Amino acid sequence: MIAENSLKQTNSFVRFALVGMANTAVGLLIMLTLLNLAGASYWLSTFIGNAAGAALSYFLNRSFTFRSSVSFSKGAPRFVAVILVCYFASYWTSGQLIGAGAADFLPPVYRDDAAVLAGSGLYTVTNYFGQKKWVFRRGAAVR
């Protein structure tokens, strides 16, 4: 009860970060498993991992993080648009940075892993602002 009341009083970024930690752990586990154990490509691994986290993320962020009453028919398409834009922008950017030498200190076998981790950080920040400002913006919040 105390933890629940404390979480209700925190700002949306703290709640987003808590939801994001769970989503990121699940997504990264799936990404790295597909990449390293299943031999899937970088793009397929990151796409499937993020899709799994995104499904849970929509419902947790709508109800817990942003306390929004936005309808599913309005919120879900916006959510998917934000997720896709953030996904491609973040993982493309991280792939380019790592490919351009940002991780030359790592053995080549770990460079895709470094790009996945860097992309996850970029994705988290851009996704928060997209969801807060467009998907679950204040005007749709439950008071």
Query: How far apart are the C-alpha atoms of 62 and 72, rounded to whole Å?
Result: 10
Q: Residue 68: what are its φ and ψ, rounded to 5°?
A: -100, 150
Distance between CA 99 and CA 112 in Å, rounded? 9
Q: Looking at residue 71, what DSSP letter applies? A: -
pLDDT at residue 142, as a whole number? 43
Q: Is a pLDDT exceeding 60 seen at residue 2?
A: no
Domain boundaries, the chain: 2-140
Whether the predicted pLDDT of 23 surpasses 90:
no
* CA separation for the pair 19, 29 (Å, rounded): 16
Separation CA 115–CA 118 (nearest Å): 5
pLDDT of residue 143: 39
Tens of pLDDT, residue by residue over 55-96, are 888 988 998 899 999 999 999 999 999 999 999 999 999 999
Type of residue at 40: A
**In angstroms, rounded to a whole number, what is the distance separating the alpha carbons of residues 86 and 124?**
8
Residues 84/102, Cβ–Cβ less than 8 Å: no
Q: What angle do CA 119, 25, 10 make, to 5 degrees?
A: 95
Nearest to 84 by CA among 54, 108, 64: 54
Name the strand (E) or helix (H) holding 107.
none
Model pTM? 0.70
Task: Give yes or no for a contact between 83 and 46, defined as CB atoms under 8 angstroms apart.
Answer: no
